[in-house]
Amino acid sequence: MAAERDAAGLAALSICESLMLALVERGVLRLEEAHAALEDAAAAHQNRDPKGEDPNLHRLALQIVERLMIQVNATHPASAHAAVGQMADSGSQD
């Protein structure tokens, strides 16, 4: 059952990554809107008290969101430098 749940999570992640990248690349979603959505997602995993959960779960989720931010930035290189700096300033503390 855990393998099925993990596979579902990976599939969902792949779908979300592909959709967000496609929306930004096609101009349906502005880069700023993508950043805002990813920053909200990151905030949901920062400084969480994982009661009853694996303590690394939210840290790992935050790292995945940060990697997606880098991928989104790559779709618009001119805007990427500022966005990566903003994410690094508020990002995870490893």
Task: Decide if 21 contacts 73 (C-beta within 8 A).
Answer: no
* Residue-level pLDDT at 44: 87
* Residue-level pLDDT at 11: 94
Tokens describing residue 46: 């920062």
What does the alpha-carbon distance between residue 77 and residue 5 come to, in Å, rounded to a whole number? 35
Question: How far separated are the first and last CA of the chain, in Å rounded?
Answer: 30
* Residue-level pLDDT at 51: 78
* Residue-level pLDDT at 48: 77
What does the alpha-carbon distance between residue 51 and residue 3 come to, in Å, rounded to a whole number? 23
Task: Decide if 64 contacts 16 (C-beta within 8 A).
Answer: no
Confidence of residue 88 (pLDDT cuts 50, 70, 90): very low
* Residue-level pLDDT at 56: 85
* Residue-level pLDDT at 89: 52
Q: What is the mean pLDDT of residues 71-90?
A: 61
* CA proximity to 17, closest of 60, 59, 65: 65
Q: Give residue-wise pLDDT tens across range 32-61.
A: 999 999 999 999 888 777 677 776 888 889
Please tell me the pTM assigned to this model.
Answer: 0.72
* CA proximity to 38, closest of 70, 6, 74: 70
